[in-house]
C-alpha cells in the first residue's frame, strides 16, 4: 500500500521537497555514480565507526572525491548527510542530496518516522528543484547503511555481526517479540464494543457475528497501530468512532420491514470494513517480507566473493 504522501492526487498540493523525485535523473551514468559514491562513503563511515568507542554522541565523517563532496555530521539526536556533485562530474543535471535522520535512541519505532528529510536538489533548464527521495528504491541501500551506522555508534551492532551479514533485528524477529498494544486504539475499540452490545438484541444474528469478527480483526491490529500509515490509522479510527455507530443507530430507526430489506446491505458494509482491516494486516506482512528481502539482497551484494 502506498504511503499517503505518494498518492497522485495529493502531489500538486505538496511542498517541493515532499514531491517524489522523477527517476529519470538517475538513469544516466552520472546519477548512478553519485548514488554508488554515497553508498561507498557510508560503507567507509560504518567501517571507521567500528574502530571507535561505542555510545558516541558526536561524530563527523567527510570524503572528498574529484566528482563528489560528502559530509556526515552526527550529534546526540540527529544525523545530517549532505552529498553533491562537483564541476568535475560533468553531469548535465548537477545534484545535491540531503538526508536528515533522527537517531534510533530518540525515535525507535520505525524508519519512516526517523527520516525527517530525504531530498535531492538539482538545477534543470535554469530552474532549481527540490524533490523527495524517501520512497525511491534507488536509495534503499543508502537508508539501510545510515541505520547500520547509527546502530554501530550506539553499540547495538558489533563489527562481527555486521561482517556476518546478520541484522541486529530482522522483521521476523520484530514480529516474534511481544509488542505493546495501542492505548489510543484500545480505547476506541472499547467504546465501539459498548455501542455494539446495546444493539446486539435488536440486530440479526449474522450481522452481530460479522461485527464480532470485525472487532476481533481491529483488535489484532492494536500492537501494529503505530506502524500503520496516516491514512490507515485515520480510516480505522473513523470506522470505530463514526461508521459503525451511525450504521447501527440508523438501522435501528428503520421500520421492521425496511430492516429486513436492508439487512443484506448492512452485512455487506461490515464485510467491506473487515476486508479493509485485513488488507492493513496483509500490507504489514508484505512490508516485513520486503524489508527482509532487501536486507538479504544488500548482504549478498556486499559480501559475495568477487
Tens-of-pLDDT digits for all 306 residues of the chain?
A: 445 444 454 555 556 656 777 777 787 888 888 988 999 999 888 888 877 665 666 788 899 888 899 999 998 889 999 999 988 888 888 899 999 999 887 776 666 678 888 999 988 888 888 889 888 878 888 988 898 888 888 775 555 445 444 334 433 333 334 467 788 888 889 889 989 988 888 889 889 988 999 999 898 888 888 878 888 888 899 999 999 999 999 999 999 999 999 999 999 999 899 888 888 888 877 777 777 777 777 777 666 655
Q: What residues contact 138, with CB distance under 8 A and at least 6 apart?
A: 23, 26, 35
Q: How far apart are CA 51 and CA 71, in angstroms?
A: 19
pLDDT score of 54: 58
DSSP letter at 12?
G
Burial degree of 9 (CB within 10 A; 0-12, 13-18, 19+): exposed
Please give the grid coordinates belonging to residue 145.
547503511
Instruction: Specify whether the CB–CB gap between 215 and 245 falls below 8 A.
Output: no
Which residue in the block uniquely carries the three cell numbers 439487512?
Answer: 263
Q: How far apart are CA 269 and CA 249, in angstroms?
A: 14
Q: Which of 156, 81, 168 is nearest to 118 (CA)?
A: 81
pLDDT score of 157: 56
pLDDT score of 165: 43
Q: Which of 293, 35, 295, 37 is nearest to 157 (CA)?
A: 295
Q: How far apart are CA 164 and CA 186, in angstroms?
A: 41
Q: How far apart are CA 139 and CA 119, in angstroms?
A: 11
pLDDT score of 257: 92
Instruction: Specify whether the CB–CB gap between 148 and 45 falls below 8 A.
Output: no
Instruction: Specify whether the CB–CB gap between 239 and 272 falls below 8 A.
Output: no
Please give the grid coordinates belonging to residue 262.
436492508
pLDDT score of 298: 74
- Please give the backbone phi and psi of residue 199, each rounded to the nearest 5 degrees, phi first: -105, -5
Q: Show me where the domains of the chain are located.
A: 4-168, 183-291
Instruction: Specify whether the CB–CB gap between 126 and 263 falls below 8 A.
Output: no
pLDDT score of 14: 58
Q: How far apart are CA 183 and CA 204, in angstroms?
A: 31
Amino acid at each position: 500500500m502506498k504511503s499517503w504522501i505518494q498518492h497522485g492526487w495529493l502531489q500538486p498540493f505538496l511542498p517541493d521537497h515532499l514531491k517524489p523525485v522523477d527517476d529519470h535523473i538517475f538513469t544516466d551514468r552520472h546519477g548512478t555514480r553519485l548514488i554508488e559514491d554515497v553508498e561507498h562513503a557510508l560503507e567507509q563511515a560504518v567501517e571507521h565507526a567500528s574502530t571507535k568507542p561505542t555510545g558516541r554522541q558526536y561524530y563527523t565523517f567527510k570524503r572528498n572525491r574529484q566528482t563528489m563532496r560528502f559530509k556526515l555530521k552526527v550529534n546526540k539526536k540527529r544525523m545530517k548527510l549532505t552529498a553533491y556533485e562537483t564541476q568535475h562530474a560533468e553531469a548535465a543535471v548537477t545534484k545535491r542530496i540531503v538526508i536528515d535522520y533522527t537517531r534510533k535512541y530518540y525515535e525507535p519505532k520505525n524508519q519512516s518516522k526517523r527520516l525527517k528529510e530525504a531530498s535531492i536538489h538539482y538545477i534543470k533548464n535554469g530552474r532549481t528543484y527540490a524533490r523527495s527521495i524517501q520512497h525511491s528504491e534507488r536509495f534503499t541501500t543508502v537508508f539501510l547503511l545510515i541505520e547500520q551506522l547509527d546502530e554501530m555508534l550506539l553499540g547495538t551492532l558489533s563489527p562481527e555481526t555486521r561482517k556476518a551479514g546478520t541484522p541486529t533485528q530482522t522483521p521476523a524477529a520484530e514480529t516474534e517479540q511481544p509488542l505493546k498494544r495501542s492505548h489510543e486504539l484500545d480505547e476506541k475499540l472499547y467504546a465501539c464494543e459498548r455501542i455494539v452490545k446495546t444493539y446486539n438484541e435488536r440486530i440479526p444474528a449474522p450481522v452481530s457475528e460479522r461485527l464480532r469478527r470485525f472487532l476481533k480483526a481491529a483488535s489484532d491490529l492494536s500492537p501494529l497501530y503505530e506502524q500503520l500509515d496516516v491514512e490507515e490509522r485515520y480510516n480505522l479510527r473513523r470506522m470505530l468512532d463514526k461508521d459503525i455507530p451511525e450504521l447501527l443507530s440508523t438501522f435501528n430507526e428503520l421500520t421492521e420491514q425496511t430492516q429486513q430489506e436492508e439487512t443484506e446491505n448492512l452485512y455487506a458494509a461490515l464485510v467491506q470494513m473487515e476486508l479493509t482491516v485485513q488488507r492493513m494486516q496483509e500490507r504489514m506482512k508484505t512490508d516485513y517480507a520486503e524489508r527482509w528481502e532487501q536486507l538479504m539482497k544488500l548482504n549478498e551484494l556486499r559480501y559475495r566473493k568477487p
